[in-house]
Chain A
């Protein structure tokens, strides 16, 4: 059975159809990229499969007991005066799934320190999150998501606020996690940097217009001029 199965999914905002007849499955251990132009419905698709946006029609089936990790495109929290430390925010990622009387455990604290080190934000541990830069905040939210050891990590343009050195560190980390068995679903406009890690590409424009391996995606000149230019660009990166 697939990790996720989406069948005949349509999503509307009022009368505007953002997604129509979307069908795909995600298998365990895949590294999948969802690509498409601005406004093509990528964020909408993710919100629908996460249950954050009610679909107009269609069926979304998750494998039972799956643990979802989600990194939103925009920070949900804009309030810079919010009284919370980096440590407090990251710990919520693990505590959410703790059963019974919730308290941070030693293992959680250790994991927290490992992730802080991975993302080079150990020095910010006790700082208030509102005082961090956008990229630093994004790293904190990534760490929060990874705290829960999700079965699948769903990321909406996670590298948009990261500097280029952090970007490659980030993809290395995703690659490690993926090799360790974590399924990855990544929305990005930055196919170039992600090209090393991708197994599969879904290209979206209100519905799925391409679904195949990354290599096929690069070869396929017939899909659309946009993809073609993109693919050529990616080839150049590879050279």
Chain B
């Protein structure tokens, strides 16, 4: 089988399109979240999504449509909690994540009927990407890209120095709110592909890989987007050809690249 055969499979084409669009969205949002020290929100929301999917399964057969608003609302709540100085961001995330996991597990044990199905959302699968997921990914990517182009400089300013941004009349709270909403959407839409366990790698890895290159902000963002694109493409294809789980393949590929760029950086630092 050649690589080109991949494109004759409808589900592969769908997985590639969805993967690329979600990967780019996650990498873009991640650049701001990681640098705001809010990287763990992806992981936290993924756990929340697990609980939300359980509720969704209890209520019908389109769990992601029910999970979406729940995750977005929790994302906003985490943001609001962390804006209060008495609760740190990481603690707020930890709270939401564990409550949701507990709830999901509890629901699944009470109504034993969907335990297996719930577990399938832990890791996701490229086989299950539907046409609806494509539309959702396009919608997500379009909104994130539009938002990014329009507000790039405000986003950068408030990520670098939120106090200065606020004094310079930038609507910091509103931008944070939009970031929180898009992050929630990315997590839920990405579950189909990567599962709740691995989706946060889309948000964290591209940026920390890009940061190893020691560039300015715009270049770092572009490098992050490039690596997101490359690892999604390579990961999905490799997992198909060698029959490996897609999410794990993408994550491990990212880890390899990070390990490589980090070591190169350390070696160079040591030599000069």
Q: Which residue of A lies closest to B219 (CB)?
A: A83
Q: Give how many B residues have a beta carbon under 8 Å from the other chain's beta carbons.
A: 28
Asked if B114 CB lies within 8 Å of chain A CBs, one says no
Interchain CB contact under 8 A, B162 and A96: no
Q: Are B216 and A102 in contact (CB under 8 A)?
A: no
Are B218 and A76 in contact, with the CB atoms below 8 A?
no
- Is B150 on the interface with A (CB-CB < 8 A)? yes
Judge whether A218 is part of the interface by a CB distance below 8 angstroms. Answer: no
| Interface-located stretch among A15-23, A85-93, A222-230 | A85-93
Q: Which of A171-206 contact B (CB under 8 A)?
A: none
Nearest CB of B to A142, in Å:
12
Specify which of A52, A85, A141, A148 is in contact with B166 (CB 8 Å cutoff): A52
Tell me if B220 counts as interface (CB < 8 A to partner A). yes
| CB < 8 Å neighbour of A83 from B151, B166, B169, B220 | B220
Given known A-B contacts A77-B160, A84-B160, A52 and B216 have beta carbons under 8 A apart: no
CB pair B153 A95 closer than 8 Å = yes
Nearest-Cβ distance from residue B33 to partner chain A, whole angstroms: 14
Distance of B204 from chain A, by nearest CB (Å):
15
Report chain B residues within 8 Å CB of A217: none
**Residues A88 and B214 in contact, CB atoms below 8 Å apart:** no
| In the bound complex, CA of A128 to CA of B215 (Å) | 7
Q: How far is B144's CA from A6's CA once the two chains are assembled, in angstroms?
A: 42
Q: Provided the pairs A82-B35, A83-B214, A84-B217 are in contact, do residues A89 and B152 lie with their beta carbons within 8 angstroms? A: no
Say yes or no: B156 contacts A84, CB within 8 Å: yes
- Indicate if the CB atoms of B216 and A72 lie closer than 8 Å: no
Q: Is A31 an interface residue (CB 8 A)?
A: no
User: Which B residues are CB-close (under 8 A) to A144?
Assistant: 164
Residues in B neighbouring A165, C-beta threshold 8 A:
none
A159 to chain B, nearest CB (A): 19
Q: Which of B163, B170, B216 contacts A85 (CB 8 A)?
A: B216
For B156, give its contact among A52, A79, A92, A128 (CB under 8 Å): A92
The reply to whether A102 and B167 form a contact with Cβ atoms under 8 Å apart is: no
**What total of chain A residues lie within 8 Å of the partner, measured CB to CB?**
33
Contact call B168/A83, Cβ cutoff below 8 A: no
Q: Report chain A residues within 8 Å CB of B165.
A: 92, 96
Interfacial chain A residues near B211, Cβ < 8 Å: 81, 83
Tell me whether B161 and A83 are in contact (CB under 8 A). Answer: no
Q: Which residues of A contact B90 (CB under 8 A)?
A: none
Whether A88 touches B150, Cβ cut-off 8 Å, given contacts A68-B167, A83-B216, is no
Q: Which residue of B lies closest to A47 (CB)?
A: B163
Check B169–A128 contact: CB distance below 8 A. no
B130 contacts the other chain (CB 8 A):
no
- Verify if A70 is at the interface (C-beta below 8 Å from B): yes
Give the distance in Å from the alpha carbon of A213 to the alpha carbon of B163 in the complex: 32
The answer to whether B164 and A88 have CB atoms under 8 Å apart is no
Q: Does A48 contact B (CB under 8 A)?
A: no
Known A-B contacts: A83-B220, A92-B165. Give 15 more (CB < 8 A).
A50-B167, A76-B161, A76-B162, A82-B35, A84-B156, A85-B216, A88-B217, A92-B153, A92-B156, A92-B157, A93-B168, A96-B154, A96-B157, A97-B168, A128-B214
Q: Which 10 A-B pairs have the closest CB atoms?
A: A96-B168, A85-B216, A83-B220, A92-B157, A95-B153, A102-B153, A70-B167, A84-B217, A76-B161, A76-B163
Q: Can you list 15 residue pairs at the A/B interface with Cβ under 8 Å?
A: A52-B163, A52-B167, A68-B168, A70-B163, A70-B164, A76-B162, A83-B214, A83-B215, A83-B217, A85-B217, A92-B161, A96-B170, A102-B152, A126-B216, A148-B168
